[in-house]
Structure 1
Amino acid sequence: MRRWLPALVLPLLFATASADAALSPQEKSMAATVDAEYERTVSLLQKLVDQNSGTMNLAGVRKVADMVRPEFEQLGFRVEWKPMDRAQRAGHLIATHAGKRGGKRLLLIGHLDTVFEADSPFQKFERNGNRGHGPGAGDDKGGVVVMLAALRAMHAAGTLKDANIEVVLTGDEEDAGSPHAVSRADLIAAGKRADVALDFEGLSVEGGQDMGSIARRSVGDWTLTTRGKSGHSSRIFSESFGDGAVFEMARIIAAFRKELPEPNLTFNVGLIGGGQAADLAADGSHIAAAGKSNIVPAVAVAKGDFRTLSPEQSERVVGKMKQIVAAHLPGTEAELVFEEGYPPMAPTAGNRALLARLNEINADLGLAKMPELDPLLRGAGDISFVAADVDGLVGLGPSSSGDHTPNETVDLDSLRRQAKRAAILMSRLSVAK
């Protein structure tokens, strides 16, 4: 008996068929491989997550590198481990695939470490249907397995053999070793060799919609120390004693809040303390302060960060901050010190063109168009170190929630969606003129 489909279903079926027809036979093969190897991908994710690799667990980071090394070697990559002893970090895994001479050179970026150190109670992977819960399940072990799933799909379809690909998996993305001239030297050099950079950190989803990321803001830490003349509080504001260290600190912080705001800038005071004594611990996360209500405070310390969208904005904000700090209250002085930070990845025409290429693939896969993500909704990352030299896209890893918390959970279905997108994008870029 002939069955009639509801009128609303027919357009959906035709749209799916039309989208599938837009894929080449090799691209259909890649999509099929990703689906067929889904359980293998999830199994590898569990294996990686179950091995702690907090940034300062140097042995753990190396063990994760040892786990993924054979995955790349089986695909024809030459793999090298670059120790980072000088930067007091574990090191980086660099995998290189030589393809067709003259083809576009692709740089794939991810990281091996997590924010959860060896003493964290959050250690193991748990699967509940299409959700995976565990440290680094999304950030960024999920991104690493998406990368590998995409490369395996390319290998099965025959598109990997001609592709020129360099992979840099850093071991300290969550807390980069210093100096950056050492800890990011290999990544920066790879960026100068590349034509395109693809960042396999997590996919951003807003309102149920996958978003395209073409920018990441910088992050830079600062430490402010103010000093004043100490003595009995009855003499505060006098010509001989002045305003004290805490009022000078308050003046500066209030001026930051009033005078710094501009589009795409955020700044934060994360830690503050003052009194007769105030000592910032070596880890930068604790201040031991002591004083009394009837003593003019001699010292105050604050620590914070700021985030910008372009090098020009960073320079402008630093200049404003220094100018504010320099206008001292009577009897006080202040010192503002900036630490090494992550540079910004500004939105560019080249980055937008890459997102347009990805949206062509979305249309061919029958997926919704990915709008640009507001850069205010994304933190800093390793791709920013190469952004001045090469066009790039961010967020080719899976969708997850609760990153950097014990609630970190990855959407396992997004592993497939992202691996298909990445495999087709890399294949098309590799043969592009």
Structure 2
Amino acid sequence: MTRFHTLACGLLLALSAAPCLAATPSATEQRLRDSIQADQPHAIALLERLVNQNSGSLNIAGVTAVGEMVRAELEPLGFDVQWIDMRATGRAGHLVATHTGKGRGKRLLLIGHLDTVFEPDSTFQRFVRNGDNATGPGIGDDKGGVVIIVSALRAMHATGTLRDADIKVVLTGDEESAGTPLDAARANLVAAGKWADVALEYEGLIVDGGQDFATVARRGVTDWEMTTTGMTGHSSGVFGDGLGYGANYELVRILDTFRRELPEPNVTFNVGLMVGGTPATLDAGGARGSASGKTNIIAERAVARGDLRTLTPEQEARARTRMQAIVAQHLPKTGASLVFEDSYPPMAPTDGNRALLAMLNQVNADLGLPAMGEWDPAKRGAADSSFVAADVDVLAGLGAAGSGSHAEGESVDLTSIPRQALRSAVLIDRLSRTPR
């Protein structure tokens, strides 16, 4: 099978994860494999350094320091590395690294993030290795993914395949807790998506039942806050014409109607916090609340906060419309308002995204690696790749395999790093030589 045939197979099988017949890896691709294997001590040492530097989203100095570590890896490979200061949004900043090739092949955007959920006051702070497994804060989400990006690009540089490639790496510094306003916090990533032809995202690899899975779709997240009001007074008048039902009954009516009427495939609706009484308030930031009341007082005010997750923009718009209609059907003597706060847009499954998975599975077949399935988007969280999905084809979940993300004991299977780096290096090489 010729190289042209190999490239064509991956593109033609746009709607199938099945590869064409396997071809023998080229001499260059074999050199990529050898380079990645030889470079593993460097990759693991880099992972340890990144993990041991705390970079909780709110730790501006720590996130900046991790960015400088990655800069030191990419600049020697010929990347122009820029630090985008984002302190105006309350966060450290983003690393944007650009490699300029010949402009003939696909322009590639590689996405990851520098921050973690573990702030400096966490007791979980250090990299610990036990054979082929290692634990540490953010080791899989997303410092393992960052190391895979670096490892793949170092191998391409060593074999000469990076020279002609047009690549932009965007590593955000606030993926786990985005700065505000969100439009400003994601402006550089959105611009990179408009520049690119293909985006590859390096959040954690899903492994289930011994099989690797890639991600062609992610649900978006929209936060919401609902406030209900009622007439307060002695509880003996509840349900009556004078005082009505009170704020708490109105809140419960709305939430229970959401529960009964909103569900459809790939839609979830969560209530994360609710308070009600006379009075009831939320603290700044909306993560804590307080309420007062007595059993014989009708509640004057209630507040609830949660999120809505959907797979497509159309599904989100439909859910929002239905939610507002439900809110508007007030119980007697009550009122209610519902406010949405945009967060992560949906990354819908598209033919283009599935074509990338087909091309990756052709790489897997040619390299003798297992084929990768398509992971259920209802089982994944949101990620930065969603911000570019409206403009570019995306393949996600190309990072390291592990477990326990966002919890103490978070771990990574170190053997997944060379496997993922090899898949990426060959896929990037082939895409960079595919005409735009």
Query: 2:294 maps to which residue?
Result: 292
Give the drift of 1:340: 2.3
Percent identity, aligned pairs only, is 59
CA distance in 2 between partners of 1:103 and 1:205 (Å): 31
CA shift at 1:277, angstroms?
1.4
The residue aligned with 1:426 is 428
Paired residues for 1:24-173 under 5 Å:
24-173=26-175
Distance 1:368 1:41 in 2: 23
Report the more deviating stretch, 363-372 or 92-101.
363-372
Q: Aligned residue for 1:333?
A: 335
Q: Which residue of 1 aligns with 2:255?
A: 253
User: After superposition, where does 1:228-239 map in structure 2 within 5 Å?
Assistant: 228-239=230-241
1:275-290 alignment runs, 5 A limit: 275-290=277-292
Could you tell me whether the CA contact under 8 Å between 1:96 and 1:166 is conserved in 2?
Answer: yes
From 317, 320, 325, the counterpart of 2:319: 317
Post-superposition offset of 1:177? 1.1
Structure 1 residue 101: deviation in Å?
2.6
Cα distance in 2 for residues equivalent to 1:340 and 1:87: 16
Cα distance, 1:100 vs. partner? Answer: 1.3
- Structure 1 residue 303, shift from structure 2 partner: 0.7
Secondary structure class of the residue paired with 1:168: strand
**Residue identity opposite 2:215 in structure 1:** S
Could you tell me how far apart the structure 2 residues matched to 1:329 and 1:162 are?
A: 66
Output the amino acid matched with 2:237. R
Of 366, 369, 372, which aligns to 1:367?
Answer: 369
1:14 corresponding residue in structure 2: none
Q: CA deviation at 1:104?
A: 1.3
One-letter amino acid of the structure 1 residue matched with residue 389 of structure 2: A
For the residues of structure 2 that align with 1:80 and 1:124, how far apart are their CA atoms?
28
Match of 1:343 in 2: 345
The question of whether the paired residues in 1 share the 8 Å contact of 2:29 and 2:426 is answered with yes
The 1-side partners of 2:401 and 2:391 are apart by 27
Structure 1 partner of 2:11: none
Rounded Cα–Cα distance in structure 2 between residues aligned with 1:129 and 1:277 = 56
Measured after TM superposition, the shift of residue 187 of structure 1 is 0.6
User: In the alignment, does 2:217 pair up with 1:215?
Assistant: yes
1:401 deviation in Å? Answer: 0.5
Give the C-alpha shift of residue 273 in structure 1. 1.2
Q: 1:264 aligns with which of 263, 266, 283?
A: 266
CA distance in structure 2 between the aligned counterparts of 1:149 and 1:137, rounded to whole angstroms: 15
RMSD across aligned positions (CA): 1.0
Q: Deviations over 1:20-40 (max 9, x none)?
A: x61111100111111111121
> 2:207 and 2:268 mapped to 1: Cα distance?
22
- 1:249 maps to amino acid: L
SS of 1:95's equivalent in the other structure is strand
| Number of residues of Structure 1 aligned to a counterpart in Structure 2 | 415
Residue 283 of structure 1 deviates from its aligned partner by 2.6
Structure 1's unaligned 5+ residue stretches are 1-17
Structure 2: 5+ residue stretches without partners: 1-20
Distance in 2, matches of 1:178 and 1:340, equals 11
What amino acid maps onto 2:136 in structure 1? G
Report SS of the residue matched to 2:374.
Answer: coil
Q: Partner residue of 1:176?
A: 178
Q: Cα offset for 1:88?
A: 1.3
| Distance across 1 between alignment mates of 2:277 and 2:103 | 65
Cα offsets for 1:345-388 (capped at 9, x unmatched): 00000000000000001111212211111101111110111100
Q: Distance in 1 between matches of 2:24 and 2:148?
A: 23
Matching of residue 189 in structure 1 with residue 191 in structure 2:
yes
The residue type paired with residue 426 of structure 1 is: I
After TM superposition, the score normalised by the length of structure 1 is 0.95
Q: Distance in 2 between matches of 1:39 and 1:132?
A: 14
**Partner-residue secondary structure (3-state), 2:77:** coil
Moved more, 421-430 or 204-213: 204-213
The residue that corresponds to 1:3 in the other structure is none
Q: Could you tell me how far apart the structure 2 residues matched to 1:206 and 1:377 are?
A: 12
Runs of 4+ in 1 over 6 A off after TM superposition: none
Provide the rounded CA distance (Å) in 2 between the counterparts of 1:312 and 1:401: 33
CA contact (8 A) 1:221 1:303 kept: yes
Q: Which amino acid aligns with 2:192?
A: A
Instruction: Give the distance between the partners of 2:323 and 2:119, measured in 1 at CA.
Output: 34
Q: Which residue identity is paired with 2:226?
A: L
For 2:86 and 2:187, locate their aligned partners in 1 and report how far apart those are by CA, in whole Å: 10
Equivalent position SS for 2:375: coil
